[in-house]
Chain A
Amino acid sequence: MKLAYWMYAGPAHIGTLRIASSFKNVHAIMHAPLGDDYFNVMRSMLERERNFTPVTTSVVDRNVLARGSQEKVVDNITRKDAEERPDLIVLTPTCTSSILQEDLHNFVERAQLEAKGDVMLADVNHYRFNELQAADRTLQQIVQYYIEKARKKGELPEGKTEKPSVNIIGSSTLGFHNQHDCTELKRLMADLGIEVNTVIPDGASVHQLKKMPRAWFNLVPYRELGLMAARYLEEQFGTPYVDITPMGVVETARCIRKIQQVINAQGANVDYEEYINEQTLYVSQAAWFSRSIDCQNLTGKKAVVFGDNTHAAAMTKILAREMGIHVVWAGTYCKYDADWFREQVSEYCDEVLITEDHGAIGDAIARVEPSAIFGTQMERHVGKRLDIPCGVIAAPIHIQNFPIGYKPFMGYEGTNQIADLVYNSFTLGMEDHLLEIFGGHDTKEVITKGISADSDLAWAKDAQAELNKIPGFVRGKVKRNTEKFARERNVSVITVEVMYAAKESVGA
């Protein structure tokens, strides 16, 4: 058992449901107790979805506990098959129902005899995998199912498309800015003269999956979702994949160069250097932004980064490499894929943090007192408490992270959006600073920066007032350094004099 009240990645079945509900005309049936269908609420609220979420529950109740599901699951599958005629029904166990150890495979086989659509069991261990791993696995499972089905029927298309083409793999419901990213990637492919063969899973029909082998290569923009499917296609058809996330100017260029190499190896003859150059220097604003005097002001400012592998790694590189910001630490909650993250960011930050414990993250933020945080909604709240601005770059996210306006993180427009996000986070801090210097805000009472530590030192009234005059984002540091100074000299009450002495001595 472990004590927890916040988790970064959800339980496995959420991943499976995200995949199932991304496809068109695929229905998921959860084998779960009443109340576990909270996924529907999230999809309906966060994505403001107009359609009913294609997820229903075959309810596990006391009777099921006593006698087993018996006909119930099979009946629910065939009923849904008749009601909505989905192409595929995915039976999804949950943590709870997986302990029952019912033979769900058998239910699926029996239901398949009657159902017109296909029926499949999501094959995920709920105690070993989280949402992201489960999503990756389920996507691969569905792709494999339809490839094998087409192969059996002799319906697999022969050969590749005439022109270079791509499958974009990994855009899904409830993914962070996925829809915008997907649009931007399609635009990028159009610019490069590459046909988009399929986009999966978001908005795809399962009937399109057999077309996948026709693509010249697969593009997997997100580290967490799609790699298993891409590897499966590589192993089956020798289709190469590009897994460089085109986020940030440098990485987008790297991704495009890799695409060039991959398609030229198959007989295309393309040179994207000029396109990259044109975009970087004149079209995207991000490169110019890093050169402008605005960005100069950010030089050496401290930031911390936390999120999933894809976004935290890309942000760290952008901040350090493209904007000259000092990333004190970068972290991920994708513990299962920690080595990749370490390898990606090690040279761009002082320290790498791998944890799923939000408390440890909060403390690490309080400890280094950055000028800005780039993290999830949890880090945003830590930032609020510590008075540090935060840009949200990864799930878990709230409804405000599903903007209606066009806000990709990927491609060249993505670099513009990220530049805005970074700049706005820091200027907010600067504005705050200026306002406080000129007395624009009430002097604040709260001075502790740490989440927990209460100081044992007394501050004289005048010193306290003086401390309050110090701008919010450095106040904690001044306080800490002054107290350290006082402690070392056995001063019990901190006066203005002590403060200045500390400043002279340690630069507090």
Chain B
Amino acid sequence: MTIAQPEALTFDCETGNYHTFCPISCVAWLYQKIEDSFFLVIGTKTCGYFLQNAMGVMIFAEPRYAMAELEEGDISAQLNDYDELKRLCLQIKRDRNPSVIVWIGTCTTEIIKMDLEGLAPKLEGEIGIPIVVARANGLDYAFTQGEDTVLAAMATRCPDKAPVAETEKNERNAISKLLNFGKKKEEVVKEESEYVDHPPLVLFGSLPDPVVTQLTLELKKQGIKVSGWLPAKRFTELPTLEEGYYVAGVNPFLSRTATTLMRRRKCKLIGAPFPIGLDGTRAWIEKICSVFGITPKGLDEREAQIWEGLEEYVKLIRGKSVFFMGDNLLEVSLARFLVRCGMTVHEIGIPYMDKRYQAAELALLEKTCQEMGAPMPKIVEKPDNYNQVQRIYELKPDLVITGMAHANPLEARGINTKWSVEFTFAQIHGFTNARDILELVTRPLRRNNNLKDLGWDKLVKEEAKI
């Protein structure tokens, strides 16, 4: 008997009562990515307490971020915002001398309507350091969307003319400089010819440097040159964005950045699935190739070879089911990859679903489900954690991908969980890192395989239902 399955993805929207990180957490990875930056979070003790606890040991490593902690005088406007910010920014300039100060606006600055965008240019002129304003607050955004607001603000700071002088070009383009290092001019010309002649391509999304290198080389194999990356390692190395440049996103939560690049910088967005998982990476490369009229080569063998290496992981999850509670917007891409690995997805909870920016990813998910004969998952935007937990009790999934607030309580009730935030910090992009995704996904299953004979599945007493 076949159960009637929905033929297309279904979308639902709940109450938005869910647990996620505050978007200001993006400073944790962005200050490390952009080496000459300083992030100033303008908020209250609550913000500071969150950052301090969420970032654990990083806090002790003298991070290049700080709180501008608002006091009662700031709230009641007894103190002048401009003077206060100027005092703190001068202190930062003196102690750290960054190339850019990023102001992170918070819920409080929104509510008291502190005009950060208005104050920044004025102060910037006065202290001589660029000030970028990103409103990464919990009123409007969830977790990884914080990066989106920062990158959207950075996009407006990218130079709009390719520099002419050769020396300057070397400085701007760190990767080509690295690749050309020590080579004579003729060799450089030869090197250039390895690339197909295509319009400049700039990628956006913050990734650890090794992953940047991996993805850049992956495209190089197809003859595609990455002209720049938003963000670069340093603020002073932001890529040039001229009208007509092509851009492609590497992460599913960058819809504002994409919009800014299209509308304000007049770039052309390549809408592709995201390079997460083997299938995603392949589809991402193929889409970029197709836009530039290139026939991709060698992908079949490469993909097949890696799948083979992953078999020991895949066999652990094949036929198992997974439930995404939703908190970091990577959910659709991860679900798609796991379906390809043979899993069934009950529900994809997600904080916010941009159907346009994620269109190609959603199409690939649908196609993957059809090809694998898996039921179409329900995508639940702004989920309600309480309702989700009830659904989890009913569905009894083999794995729940969730935040830390729910992980231990679910484990105590005999439900396997994987802490979702790890996907944000682990290296999960490109062919090379597909293994890392599966390493994360299978860890609870492998652990519980080791313990399965102990009979310690449920460690809470049945609660009396009133």
Give the interface of A toward B (CB within 8 A): 1-7, 10-11, 13-14, 32-38, 40-42, 44-45, 48-53, 56-57, 59-62, 65, 76, 83, 85, 94-96, 99-100, 126-128, 130, 378, 381, 396, 398
A-B contact pairs, 9 of them (CB 8 A): A1-B84, A5-B65, A11-B49, A52-B406, A56-B386, A62-B140, A65-B110, A65-B111, A96-B46
CB proximity of A204 to chain B, nearest CB, Å: 19
Please report the C-alpha to C-alpha distance between residue A33 and residue B18 in the assembled complex, in whole angstroms. Answer: 11
Number of A-B contacts defined by CB within 8 Å: 163
- Give the Cβ gap from A55 to chain B, nearest Cβ, in Å: 9
**Inter-subunit contact B75/A56 (CB<8 Å):** no
Please, which residue of chain B has its CB at the minimum distance from the CB of A99? B111
- State in angstroms the CA–CA spacing of A468 and B92 once bound together: 34
Q: A1-B74, A50-B409, A99-B75 are in contact. Are A36 and B66 (CB under 8 A)?
A: no
Inter-chain contacts of A59 with B (CB < 8 A) = 16-17
The complex places the Cα of A48 from the Cα of B111 at a distance, in Å, of 35
Residue B143 is within 8 A (CB to CB) of chain A in the complex: yes
Asked whether, in the complex, the Cβ of A44 is within 8 Å of the Cβ of B139, the reply is no
Q: Report the bound CA distance from A128 to B66 in whole Å.
A: 21
Q: A40-B19, A48-B408, A127-B72 are in contact. Are A7 and B386 (CB under 8 A)?
A: no
- A5 in contact with B404 (CB, 8 Å): no
Question: Is B393 among interface residues, defined by CB-CB distance under 8 A?
Answer: no
Instruction: Output the least CB separation between B114 and chain A (Å).
Output: 11
Q: Contact at A53–B405, with CB atoms within 8 Å?
A: yes
Which stretch of B54-62, B245-253, B267-275, B360-368 is in the interface? B54-62
Q: Is A14 a contact partner of B66 (Cβ separation < 8 A)?
A: no
Residue from A13, A83, A99 in contact with B386 in the complex, judged by beta carbons closer than 8 Å: A83
Stretch from B20-28, B235-243, B285-293 at the A interface: B20-28
What is the bound-complex CA distance between A1 and B48, given in angstroms? 13
- Return the chain B residue nearest A58 by Cβ: B17
Residues of A within 8 A of B70 (CB): 1
Q: Which of B17, B53, B389 contacts A38 (CB 8 A)?
A: B53
Q: Do A35 and B140 touch (CB < 8 A)?
A: no
The 6 closest A-B pairs by CB, nearest first: A35-B22, A33-B138, A40-B405, A50-B412, A95-B44, A11-B45
Q: Which residues of A contact B140 (CB under 8 A)?
A: 61-62
B162 at the interface (CB under 8 A from A): no
Judge whether B460 and A51 touch: CB under 8 Å: yes
| Minimum CB–CB distance for B457 against chain A, Å | 13
Chain A's closest residue to B412 (CB) is A50
A127 touches B46 (CB 8 A): no
In the complex, the answer to whether A4 meets B66 with C-beta atoms within 8 Å is: yes
In the complex, whether B304 has a CB less than 8 A from a CB of chain A is no
Within the complex, what minimum Cβ distance (angstroms) separates B14 from chain A? 12
Flag if B48 contacts A5 (CB, 8 Å): yes
With A38-B22, A38-B49 in contact, do A3 and B68 touch (Cβ < 8 Å)? yes
CA distance A56 to B406 in the complex (A): 12
Is B142 an interface residue, CB under 8 A from the partner?
yes
Q: Report which B residues bind A (CB closer than 8 A).
A: 16-24, 42, 44-46, 48-54, 56, 59-60, 63, 65-72, 74-75, 79, 84-85, 87-88, 91-92, 106-108, 110-112, 137-143, 386, 389, 403-409, 412, 459-460, 466
Q: In the complex where A14-B49, A44-B405, A50-B459 touch, is A1 in contact with B386 (Cβ < 8 A)?
A: no
CB neighbours (8 Å) of A95 from chain B are 44-46, 108
Highest count of chain B CB atoms <10 Å: which of A38, A50, A52, A398: A38
Q: Which residue of B lies closest to A49 (CB)?
A: B408
Q: Select one of A4, A53, A99, A398 contacting B56, CB under 8 A.
A: A398
Q: Given the complex of chains A and B, what is the CA–CA distance between A263 and B142 in angstroms?
A: 56
With a cutoff of 8 Å between Cβ atoms, the chain A residues found around residue B87 in the complex are: 1
For the complex, what is the distance from the CA of A41 to the CA of B405, rounded to whole Å? 4
CB distance from A198 to the nearest CB of B (A): 23
Contact of A10 with B67 at beta-carbon distance under 8 Å, contacts A51-B409, A52-B409 already known: no
- With CB as the reference atom, state the residue of chain A lying closest to B42: A1
Known contacts A1-B85, A99-B111: A37-B139 contact under CB 8 Å:
no
Known: A5-B65, A10-B45, A40-B405. A35 touches B466 (CB 8 A): no
- Chain A residues lying within 8 Å of B67, measured Cβ to Cβ, are 3-5
Q: Which B residues lie within 8 Å of A13 (CB)?
A: 46
When distances are taken between beta carbons in the complex, the residues of chain B under 8 Å from A7 are 45, 48-49, 52
From A11, A33, A41, contact of B404 by CB (8 A): A41
A34 to chain B, nearest CB (A): 4
Known contacts A11-B45, A50-B460, A96-B46: does B71 contact A1 (CB below 8 Å)? yes
Q: Which residues of A contact B66 (CB under 8 A)?
A: 3-5
In the complex, A100→B107 CA distance in Å? Answer: 11
- When the two chains form their complex, are residues B142 and A35 in contact, meaning their CB atoms are under 8 A apart? yes
Chain A residues whose C-beta falls within 8 Å of the C-beta of B459 in the assembled complex:
50
Q: Decide: B386 and A34 in contact? CB cutoff 8 A.
A: no
User: Are B139's CB and A33's CB within 8 A?
Assistant: yes
In the complex, are the beta carbons of A38 and B50 less than 8 A apart? yes
Interface pair B143/A35, CB less than 8 Å apart: yes
Do B138 and A44 touch (CB < 8 A)?
no
Query: Is A6 a contact partner of B52 (Cβ separation < 8 A)?
Result: yes
> Once bound together, how far apart are the Cα atoms of A504 and B66, in whole Å?
46
B91 touches A3 (CB 8 A): yes
Are B69's CB and A2's CB within 8 A? Answer: yes
